[in-house]
């Protein structure tokens, strides 16, 4: 790791993608950083994650290019299709054209592969497991964090990268419950060998239909196919956000959809039903020497595939801001700069992600036909030109 002698120390709460990227980014800039994860081991819930060029730019800079190339998959296109007859609504080239336009690849990955790649770059003593944050005190010149295991830690800055259920956020701004978005997702992973008969392309395929949509793509170096099947429902009353469900239930929810959609679901050994929650984006992320990152401050629907990418961007921008500050009063000003740089962008992506729920789930009829005509004409919000403000962003600048 390089050093530049800033003298700032940072305690990061949460060992997910955002937290580990923050630790690596800070260490690269010579900033003393440690991660405190509540679980007994580093793990990621979920399966697939999309790493677009705005995020791969950061990860390549952290030395992960070879590992991303080994475990990730570069999709040749985003293929948007109709739910019942499979008709192509739009096909956006990715891979070569996208990399030429923005300088970095787009990867489809298993979340566990990305987390492992990040963890492998960190010295082992930088990650402390079984540390659940219970209290924090900002003493003005330092922050003290207290954990359920009795440990106490002091640092110049504390960063809450602890997800949508963020304990840091609760301690900083008070309790607030995430809101159910009216959508639930069946998720699954299928060995690619089982689906050879379908002749699947190496694309991200997005099938849009009444009240739901279906996404599938290769992950794990092409060995697995990840799918996410999202349907609208009025309420969520279960205690868990994630329930193991019978595959027959998922198939019933997608009755009448294209045979390829149903064949992928039929091939899975098990599926999980996830409630999709979000929060209203915060206008303020920081107080004193404490700030937030990722889902802790801007949890969003997955319809723009930018949740992980925004956390990676947060991490890079935070490291840039802190690297320009010394250990004294400049730290709080650096956190304000970080917040000012990130809030407008993440709020805009949050709004676009929320709008996808309506756009992807239109019932067959005039609005759906107008949407499809717009897509056929090269518009519709998912073209490379329309996404340039997202994909071309350099969060390290």
User: Which residues is 226 bridged to in the sheet?
Assistant: 189, 217
Phi, psi torsion values for 16, nearest 5 degrees: -90, -165
pLDDT at position 378: 74
What residues contact 328, with CB distance under 8 A and at least 6 apart?
141
Please state, in angstroms and rounded to a whole number, the distance separating the CA atoms of residues 243 and 269.
Answer: 15
pLDDT at position 385: 82
Please identify which residue in the block is written with the tokens 């999980």.
272
Q: Where are the beta strands (DSSP E) in 126-165?
A: 127-128, 133-138, 143-147, 152-155, 157-160
Is 90 exceeded by the pLDDT of residue 131? yes
What residues contact 70, with CB distance under 8 A and at least 6 apart?
221
User: Given strand 127-128, what is the order of strands in its sheet?
Assistant: 127-128, 32-36, 9-13, 157-160, 290-292
Torsion from C-alpha of 346, 347, 352, 353, nearest 10 degrees: 70
Confidence of residue 30 (pLDDT cuts 50, 70, 90): very high
Q: How many CB atoms lie within 10 A of CB 378?
A: 11
Confidence of residue 234 (pLDDT cuts 50, 70, 90): confident
List the structure tokens of 41.
């081991």
Domain positions in the chain: 9-72+109-177+280-359
Strands 127-128 and 32-36: parallel
Contact status, residue 195 vs residue 265, Cβ threshold 8 Å? no
From residue 152, give the alpha-carbon distance in Å to each of 144, 148, 200, 242, 276: 7, 9, 52, 32, 34
Please state, in angstroms and rounded to a whole number, the distance separating the CA atoms of residues 178 and 184.
Answer: 14
pLDDT at position 197: 95
Catalytic residue positions? 217
pLDDT at position 179: 84
| Nearest residue to 72 (alpha-carbon basis) of 90, 88, 49, 92 | 49
Please state, in angstroms and rounded to a whole number, the distance separating the CA atoms of residues 88 and 91.
Answer: 7
Is 50 exceeded by the pLDDT of residue 382? yes
User: Which residues is 157 bridged to in the sheet?
Assistant: 10
Confidence of residue 178 (pLDDT cuts 50, 70, 90): confident
pLDDT, one tens digit per residue, over 242-261 is: 778 889 999 999 999 999 99
pTM score of the predicted model: 0.94
pLDDT at position 281: 83
CATH fit for domain 9-72+109-177+280-359, picks 3.50.50.60, 2.40.37.10, 2.40.50.140, 3.40.1710.10: 3.50.50.60
pLDDT at position 46: 64
120: exposed, middle or buried (Cβ count in 10 Å: 0-12, 13-18, 19+): exposed
List the structure tokens of 103.
């300088």
| Mean pLDDT on 220-246 | 84
What residues contact 350, with CB distance under 8 A and at least 6 apart?
278, 281, 298, 300
Exposure on the CB side of residue 46, measured as CA atoms within 13 A = 21
């Amino acid at each position: 790791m390089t050093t530049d002698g800033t003298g700032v120390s940072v305690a990061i709460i949460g060992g997910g993608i955002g937290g580990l990227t923050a630790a690596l980014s800070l260490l690269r800039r010579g900033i003393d950083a440690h991660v405190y994860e509540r679980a007994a081991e580093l793990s990621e819930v979920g399966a697939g994650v999309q790493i677009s060029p705005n995020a791969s730019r950061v990860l390549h800079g952290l030395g992960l290019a070879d590992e991303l190339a080994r475990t990730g998959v570069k999709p040749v296109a985003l293929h948007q299709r109709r739910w019942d007859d499979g008709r192509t609504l739009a096909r956006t080239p990715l891979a070569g054209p996208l990399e030429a336009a923005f300088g970095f690849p787009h990867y489809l990955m298993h979340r566990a592969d990305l987390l492992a790649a990040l963890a492998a770059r960190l010295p082992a003593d930088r990650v402390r497991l079984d540390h659940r944050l219970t209290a924090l005190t900002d003493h003005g010149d330092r922050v003290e964090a207290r954990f359920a295991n009795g440990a106490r830690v002091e640092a110049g800055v504390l960063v809450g990268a602890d997800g949508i259920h963020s304990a840091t956020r609760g301690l900083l701004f008070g309790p607030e419950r995430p809101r159910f978005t009216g959508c639930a997702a069946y998720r699954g992973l299928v060995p690619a060998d089982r689906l050879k008969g379908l002749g699947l392309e190496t694309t991200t395929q997005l099938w849009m239909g009444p009240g739901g949509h279906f996404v599938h793509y290769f992950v794990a170096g092409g060995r697995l196919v990840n799918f996410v099947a999202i349907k609208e429902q009025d309420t969520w009353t279960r205690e868990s956000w994630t329930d193991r469900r019978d595959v027959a239930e998922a198939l019933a929810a997608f009755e009448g959809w294209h045979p390829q959609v149903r064949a992928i679901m039929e091939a899975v050994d098990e599926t999980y039903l996830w409630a999709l929650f979000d929060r209203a984006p915060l206008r303020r992320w920081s107080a004193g020497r404490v700030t937030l990152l990722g889902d802790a401050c801007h949890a969003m629907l997955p319809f723009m595939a930018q949740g992980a990418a925004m956390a990676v961007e947060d991490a890079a921008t935070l490291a840039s801001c802190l690297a320009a500050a010394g250990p004294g009063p400049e730290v709080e000003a650096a956190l304000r700069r970080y917040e000012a740089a990130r809030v407008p962008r993440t709020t805009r992506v949050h709004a676009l992600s929320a709008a996808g729920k309506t756009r992807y789930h239109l019932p067959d009829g005039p609005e759906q036909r107008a949407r499809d005509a717009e897509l056929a004409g090269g518009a519709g919000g998912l073209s490379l030109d329309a996404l340039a403000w997202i994909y071309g962003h350099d969060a390290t600048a």
